[in-house]
């Protein structure tokens, strides 16, 4: 490494964020950046000569990934940044990651959880360094169209324009294929566009990448729902190969009395309508579910729950409560959660920070579940009946929640948001094509091959593996592109570079 003792000389440091009470007044990104070249290079210098860089190992422990799913060459571009070779660092980063401007903003950074330095000191700021490289590349004008030198004459249809669909399309286009991406929403980007709020990922960042891909030759057909407006079988017959990357968009519901009441919504619908209205009219059209003046209860944690907290506060909610059925994570790694596994520790994300600043308390309540949504007598919801739970082993040795007697109580709610994750892809496209599904309802396609039960049809991302991370979806799209390329080269196609 350029500075083998950098991790001893420099402390981990992050640029500040805009203060919570200030940023809740707008929908812009609020993370600040280092302005000093020295500060940027110092953080890269902390990357140590660890011999085995677990940061890009991508190993699964207990269902969670450790290290970067994209196998980003983290030590290499950290060294280039330390040396001030920014353009070379961007080239190295682009070898493994099509969209570092996305992952640098929304990835939970499993690379940092596996950082070797993290065993003795605060880990390297890998996510920040990645974003710094990417943003500099865009600012300096280094991100220019890269058109393929020749076309193969073969056509590939990609259904879905989320991170998996975009990365697959990007790779196949580079290899010379004619790629068309189909998106049922009015704008391409999938969850990057409508599933993640603007303050977390500015939609201009997504649109900028889409525009570059268009110049490079990728065609986007938005507002076209494959399986309804356009028959999936008809689309398959019109191309040489097809990739299903429509995501896991079927939300997990909650079966309790009162679920039918007005004011109870899926979190994904709440976030989608808010972003669409924000882009169309800066929320002036009113075509979204507002939390203004309401007591909001969010059922479920995770990123989606946090996004609902932040969005509700920006609407001007009266209060916000987040219900989590699991116990509160520990402040530090537990004995059964050693490095380099993903650290299952308590983290206070931006939404919780804002709730604490606004209302004076963390909105999360642990080991609790909703029992009933109570009506207001006018068809709407007025409160949620909840009950505490304890986690105990059942006869088979599995940990299951048990309700605590006498702990039932009501909390006010005129808006309830169900953020309990997703069950898999909707049946429209798989059903139309007659694709075989796995036991979880995802499109059945073996990792590494990505081929479905229908010849010439491949699946990638959440549609294949179930709900996961943006970085994992990008990796799946890249790998699926290699599989499609191999299939088409057998008939005289191009070649992935």
pLDDT tens-digit series, residues 6-63 = 999 999 999 999 999 999 999 999 999 999 999 999 999 999 988 899 999 999 998 8
pLDDT of residue 94: 96
β-strand partners of 457:
242
Is the pTM here over 0.85, yes or no? Answer: yes
Inside any domain, residue 104: yes
Domain count, the chain: 3
Residue 493 pLDDT > 60:
no
> Residue 335's domain is classified under what CATH number?
3.50.50.60
Q: Which structural domain range is residue 280 located in? A: 253-420
> Residue 72's domain is classified under what CATH number?
1.10.1060.10
Interatomic CA distance for residues 203 and 100, integer angstroms: 15
Inside any domain, residue 270: yes
CB-based contact 183:221 (threshold 8 Å)? yes
pLDDT of residue 157: 98
On whether both 286 and 403 belong to a single domain, the answer is: yes
Interatomic CA distance for residues 220 and 69, integer angstroms: 27
Inside any domain, residue 86: yes
Dihedral sign of CA atoms 23, 28, 29, 34 in order: negative
Q: List the one residue out of 236, 149, 268, 148 whose CA is nearest residue 457.
A: 236
Boundary (domain end) residue, out of 420, 439, 466: 420
On whether both 239 and 364 belong to a single domain, the answer is: no
Task: Kindly report which listed range (195-204, 395-404, 441-450, 488-497) carries the lowest average pLDDT score.
Answer: 488-497
Phi, psi of 388 (to 5 degrees): -75, 150
pLDDT tens-digit series, residues 400-426 = 999 999 999 999 999 999 999 999 999
């Amino acid at each position: 490494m350029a500075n083998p003792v950098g991790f001893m000389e420099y402390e981990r440091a992050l640029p500040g964020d805009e203060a919570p009470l200030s940023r809740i007044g707008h929908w812009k990104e609020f993370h600040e950046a280092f302005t000093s070249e020295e500060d940027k290079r110092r953080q890269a210098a902390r990357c140590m000569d660890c011999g085995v860089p677990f940061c890009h190992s991508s190993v699964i422990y207990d269902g969670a990934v450790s290290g970067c799913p994209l196998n980003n060459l983290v030590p290499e571009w950290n060294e280039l940044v330390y040396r001030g070779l920014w353009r070379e660092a961007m080239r190295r980063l682009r070898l493994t990651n099509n969209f570092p401007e996305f992952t640098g903003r929304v990835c939970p950074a499993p690379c940092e959880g596996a950082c070797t330095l993290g065993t003795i000191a605060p880990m390297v700021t890998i996510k920040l360094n990645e974003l710094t490289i990417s943003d500099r590349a865009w600012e300096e004008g280094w991100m220019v169209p890269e058109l393929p030198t020749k076309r193969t004459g073969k056509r590939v249809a990609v259904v879905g324009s989320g991170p998996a669909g975009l990365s697959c399309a990007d790779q196949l286009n580079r290899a010379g294929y004619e790629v068309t991406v189909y998106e049922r929403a009015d704008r391409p980007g999938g969850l990057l566009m409508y599933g993640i709020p603007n303050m977390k990922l500015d939609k201009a960042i997504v649109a900028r990448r889409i525009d570059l891909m268009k110049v490079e030759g990728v065609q986007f057909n938005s507002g076209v729902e494959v399986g309804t407006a356009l028959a999936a079988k008809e689309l398959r017959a019109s191309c040489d190969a097809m990739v299903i990357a429509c995501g896991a968009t079927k939300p997990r519901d909650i079966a309790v009395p009162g679920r039918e009441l007005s004011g109870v919504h899926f979190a994904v619908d709440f976030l989608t309508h808010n972003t669409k209205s924000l882009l169309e009219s800066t929320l002036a059209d009113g075509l979204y579910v507002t939390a203004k003046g309401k007591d909001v209860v969010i059922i479920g944690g995770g990123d989606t729950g946090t996004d609902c907290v932040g969005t509700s506060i920006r609407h001007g909610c009266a209060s916000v409560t987040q219900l989590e059925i699991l116990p509160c994570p520990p402040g530090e790694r537990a004995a059964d959660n050693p490095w380099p596994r993903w650290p299952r520790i308590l983290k206070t994300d931006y939404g919780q920070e804002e709730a604490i600043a606004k209302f004076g308390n963390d909105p999360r309540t642990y080991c609790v579940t909703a029992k009933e949504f109570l009506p207001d007598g006018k068809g709407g919801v007025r409160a949620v009946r909840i009950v505490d739970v304890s986690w105990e082993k059942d006869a088979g040795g599995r940990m299951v929640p048990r309700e605590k007697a006498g702990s039932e109580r009501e909390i006010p709610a005129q808006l309830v948001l169900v953020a309990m994750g997703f069950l898999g892809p909707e049946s429209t496209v798989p059903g139309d094509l007659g694709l075989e599904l796995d036991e979880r309802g995802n499109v059945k396609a073996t990792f590494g091959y990505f081929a479905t039960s229908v010849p010439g049809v491949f699946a990638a991302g959440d549609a294949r593996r179930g709900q996961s991370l943006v970085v994992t979806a990008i990796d799946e799209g890249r790998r699926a592109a290699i599989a499609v390329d191999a299939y088409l080269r057998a008939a005289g196609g191009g070649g992935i570079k």
